[in-house]
Structure 1
Amino acid sequence: MKVYEALRWASSFLQEHDYEAAIGERLLQHHTGWSRTRLLAEYHTILEEELVDKFQKDVHLAAKGTPVQHITGEETFYGRTFLVSSDVLIPRPETEELIEAVLARLPLIHNSSNGIPVKIVDVGTGSGIIAVTLALELSDSIVTATDISPEALSVAKQNAKRLHAEVTFLKGDLLEPLTSIGEKGSIVISNPPYIPEGDRAVMKANVVDHEPSLALFAGEDGLNIYRRLVKQIPKFLLKPGMIALEIGHGQGEAVKKLIVEQFNGATVEILDDINGKERMVISVIYE
């Protein structure tokens, strides 16, 4: 079978099962180790039979709902390749926008010329994408990441090691591993579970059946984690400080209210993502 024949078969098969044809291309790149450019250049190259067999098995898995990231074991985030598994949420491009928002507002709370590192905590780190990315993007930072799941922390630690990022990982619930020992910092960032439990029935099987419920759902209205986390933040946050939270569409005003209740007079922004949906709540707190 030639490359173009393999891709044509995969495209047709996946579309018959209501999945994107592009998955086939990604899986063939995974099995050949080729870039997309080379894959296109090799259109008439004959593939080894063993490779075709493995490729077709993975296409069948994808057509049954297994996320392509779980088949390949990786996903790209902020220009870097991260390991992923069924124990962590698959990185989404919207979370890159959360990091961009924090980097853009960092000068409001931190003077990088004074030599004092900015202390950041990533709450519910999952695969570690936020913590690792910030540690690599901000050389004058001290980054800590927490998660209640030991399996998720294992994946995050592997990512930090592979990408040579200095991050301290702590097992525990939200900010408790830090507040329990009196630790403080200037930035709290989190992409917590925020999907209402009632949405489970209408979500795609490749999400509900393959990604951890612990990282997806947060009570009847999806706000359970925000309620608990925001109450913990005053014990941790130095002034000036920043709170940066990823949210679900339509949750902005509710999360803003939670922050204002804890920090009277706080500046709170509700930001849309590139698709025009509410995606971030950013608060800069001066006193």
Structure 2
Amino acid sequence: MKVYEALRWASSFLQKHDYEETIGERLLQHHTGWSRTQMLTEYHTTLSEQIQMKFQEDVEKAASGIPVQYITGEEVFYGREFHVNKDVLIPRPETEELIEVVLDMIRSLPLIDSDKVAIVDVGTGSGVIAITLALELSNAEVTAIDISGDALHLASQNANRLGATITFLEGDLLSPFISLGEKVSVVVSNPPYIPEGDRAVMKGNVVEHEPHLALFAGEDGLGIYRRLVKQIPSVLIKPGIIAFEIGHGQGEAVKTLIVEEFPSASVDIINDINGKERIVIGTVS
């Protein structure tokens, strides 16, 4: 089977199962090690029997609903390749927007002028937020927390591979950090925020394969925010920053939670590139 024949088959097969045909290109690149440009120049190259077999097996897996990121074991985030598996949520492009907002906020405050900017990432998953902030800020001192030991193991591997120095703590939200008596200038989190009631209408490849611990947060999706905001006064240095990724329509509720705990906070709700509420960020002085 030549490359163009393999891609034509994959495209048809995936479309028949209501999945994007570009998944085939990504899987073929994964198995050949080619860039997309190289793959296009190899259109009439005959694939080896081994690559063809593995490629077809993985296309069938993708068509069954397994996310392509779990098949290849990787996803690009903020220009860097992160390893992912079933123990962590797949990084989304919207979270890159959270990174941009946090970086801009840190650089606009006196925090950036200090010898170090202490940051804690709560619910780190694969570590994309903690690692990216550590690599983008030369004076960042980053701690990453997760309740899942398996997630922390993967995040630690990502940090080592990408050259980021991170302190990893296992525990529930900020509890392990509070126990150590540590303080930070920035609390950032992309916590579970999907209401339980949405489970029935979500795509099968998400619900059936991504960890529910990282997706769902009670009846209204705000359960984690309520608990986390109550803990933040124990760790936040003033002036400080609180930054959350949120679900669409949760902005005002999460903003209210922050203002109730920090009446003097200046809090903004920011829409993502698709015009949906995505980020709540507050400065506390």
What's the TM-score once normalised by structure 1's chain length? 0.98
- What is the number of residues matched between the two proteins? 285
Is residue 2–residue 43 contact of structure 1 (8 Å, CA) maintained in 2? yes
Shift of 1:53: 0.6
* Pair 1:155-2:154 in alignment: yes
Amino acid at match of 1:30: H
CA deviation vs aligned residue, 1:220-273 (integer Å, no higher than 9, x gap): 000000000000001110000000000000000000000000001210000000
User: Hey, what does 1:176 align to over in structure 2?
Assistant: 175
Q: What is the CA-CA distance between 1:181 and the residue it aligns to?
A: 2.0
Aligned AA for 1:23? I
1:112 aligns with 2:96: no
- The answer to whether the 8 Å contact 1:250/1:278 transfers is yes
Counterpart residue number, 2:229: 230
Report whether the alignment pairs 1:94 with 2:106: no
Distance 2:67 2:233 in 1: 38
Cα distance in 2 for residues equivalent to 1:126 and 1:215: 8
After superposition, where does 1:1-287 map in structure 2 within 5 Å? 1-114=1-114, 116-286=115-285
Residues in 1 aligned to 2:59 and 2:150: alpha-carbon distance in whole angstroms: 27
5+ residue gaps, structure 2, are none
* 1:197-220 CA distance string (max 9 Å, x none): 000011111100110000000000
CA distance in 1, matches of 2:81, 2:279: 24
Q: Distance in 1 between matches of 2:283 and 2:106?
A: 9
| Per-residue deviation, 1:111 | 4.4
User: In 2, Cα distance between the equivalents of 1:182 and 1:51?
Assistant: 53
Q: Do 1:109 and 1:242's aligned partners in 2 also have CA atoms closer than 8 Å?
A: no
**Match for 2:65: what amino acid?**
G
One-letter identity of the residue aligned with 1:6: A
Question: What amino acid is aligned across from residue 201 of structure 2 in structure 1?
Answer: V
Q: How far apart in 2 are the matches of 1:199 and 1:125?
A: 23
Secondary structure of 1:284 counterpart:
strand
Q: Report if the CA contact (8 A) 1:110-1:118 is conserved.
A: no
Which amino acid in 2 is paired with 1:235? Answer: S
* Change in CA separation of 1:165 and 1:84 when aligned onto 2, cut-off 3 Å: same
Q: What CA distance in whole angstroms lies between the structure 2 residues aligned with 1:231 and 1:12?
A: 51
Aligned partner of residue 180 in structure 1, secondary structure: helix
SS in 2 for 1:240: strand
What amino acid is aligned across from residue 44 of structure 1 in structure 2?
Answer: H
Question: For each residue in 1:157-186, what CA deviation from the matched residue of structure 2 results, as whole angstroms up to 9, or x when unmatched?
Answer: 010010010000000111111111211000
Q: Partner of 2:62: helix, strand, or coil?
A: helix
Q: 1:148 to 1:201 in 2, by over 3 A?
A: same
- 1:87-118 C-alpha deviation (Å, 9 max, x unpaired): 0000000000000001111134334344x200
- Which runs of no fewer than 5 residues in structure 1 stay unpaired? none
- 3-state SS of paired residue (2:110): coil
SS of 1:102's partner is helix
Q: Percent identity?
A: 71
| Conserved 8 A contact 1:58-1:71 | yes
* 1:111–1:187 Cα change, 3 Å: closer
| 1:130-169 Cα shifts (integer Å, max 9, x gaps) | 0000000001010000000001001100100100100000
Which whole-Å deviations, capped at 9, do the CAs of 1:14-33 have from their partners, x for residues lacking one? 00000000000000000000
Q: CA RMSD in A?
A: 0.8
Distance 2:121 2:111 in 1: 21
Whole-angstrom distance in 2 between the partners of 1:20 and 1:112: 42
